[in-house]
Amino acid sequence: MLRAELDPYDERGRLTLDGPRVVLPSELAVPVGMALHELTTNALRHGSLADPNGRLQVTWRIEDRGSGRGLRWDWAEHDGPPAMHPTREGFGHRLLNKILAAQTGAEVDVAFAPDGLQVSVRMPLPALAEGGSGTDDQGT
């Protein structure tokens, strides 16, 4: 999902994507995909991907939580324009803090840093019916 969204914008190696392959059920894939698309669009218009020197790093991992497994992913923009705190709640903010959180049970932290936007998401992963982990070691 990340590669499909971001590979077209990987000029001069400005993108770093790092994490294990994770299979998301559709009830998670749709809101996560929407969030990634919105973050990408904003990075292209206003953030690190709008600046020729900007960089984007997305990392993710599976975490063992007391209540089961969880997915943690971090979106970190660097060397672009400073991330300005919005003066009003826009679509992206509502998407991350309401839709993504409500539909996936995610905890979302957003930081408007001088170096660029930083977003950290933690969400529970449902147990797979086949008893598999939903991950493998092949990357994205």
**Surface-to-core class of residue 67, CB atoms within 10 Å of its CB (0-12 exposed, 13-18 middle, 19+ buried):** exposed
> What averages of pLDDT result for each successive group of 10 residues across the chain (140 residues)?
90 91 91 93 93 95 87 95 72 69 89 92 75 44
| Domains of the chain, first to last | 2-125 (3.30.565.10)
pLDDT at 65: 77
